[in-house]
Amino acid sequence: MSSLENIAHFTLTVLALATALVLLALHVRWHLRHGLRVSTRAGYHPRFRLDELAPPGSDVRRQVKRIIRRGDTADDPSQGRAVHLMAWVRHREYGNPWPPWLGLAAGTGFLLNSSLWPLTEQGSWLPGGLGLFWLGAGTFWWFARRTQLRLTEQAMARHTSFADPTDTVPPRAQG
């Protein structure tokens, strides 16, 4: 490789990794702006209410997940409330648009980085492997996000009649 090619590869690598850092900052900012942090001082998150209605690992939680995944409608009002709340929580979590692009940018940066060195040098497989992993993760997350948003929107629409408006509002804001 000529020195000009090395400079071009290095510049592209730095740009891809800098893009990944910017996307990471946007990802964190999105979470903070949409209230998706659990503060022990606040002592409330909609997931806490969900854990009361359908404890993790319970049959109720598995049934709620199955209802959302299959597009069914719950007959029991308490189960319908749990379905609506789980769909609401998941919709907010999957609403963040930045993780797929973050994975793709990081993967591109690592792949460009791996192309700087010949494959005979020790350790040069690591950036390439990380690049392929992040490209795969970004692509998977993009498809999973689209599917989850569609399923949760449908579940919330079908179970709106079971919803309790106080489930998604912190106690301080209700009063």
Q: Using pLDDT thresholds of 50, 70 and 90, give the confidence band for residue 158.
A: very high
Whole-number Å distance between alpha carbons of 92 and 81 = 17
Structure confidence at residue 40 (pLDDT): 46
Mean pLDDT of 4-22: 78
Whole-number Å distance between alpha carbons of 122 and 100 = 30
Mean pLDDT of 93-102: 78
Mean pLDDT of 19-48: 70
Instruction: Please provide the size of the chain in residues.
Output: 175
Q: Which amino acid is at 75?
A: D
Is 92 in contact with 34 (CB distance < 8 Å)? yes
Structure confidence at residue 138 (pLDDT): 79
117-145 residue pLDDT tens: 555 455 556 666 777 777 788 788 888 88
> Of 87, 99, 92, which is closest to residue 28 (Cα–Cα)?
99
Give the mean pLDDT of the chain.
Answer: 77
Sequence-distant (6+) residues with CB within 8 A of 99 are 27, 138, 141, 145
Torsion sign (Cα): 124, 129, 130, 136: positive
H/E segment holding residue 97: none
Pick the residue with more confidence: 167 or 158? 158
SS3 113: helix
Given a cut of 90, is residue 25 above it in pLDDT? no
Whole-number Å distance between alpha carbons of 88 and 149 = 10
Structure confidence at residue 168 (pLDDT): 66
Mind giving me the DSSP string for 23-44? Answer: HHHHHHHHHHHTT----TTT--
Q: Using pLDDT thresholds of 50, 70 and 90, give the confidence band for residue 67.
A: very high
Structure confidence at residue 90 (pLDDT): 85
Helix extents (H) in 34-174: 46-53, 59-70, 77-94, 98-114, 125-158, 171-174
Q: Which amino acid is at 152?
A: T
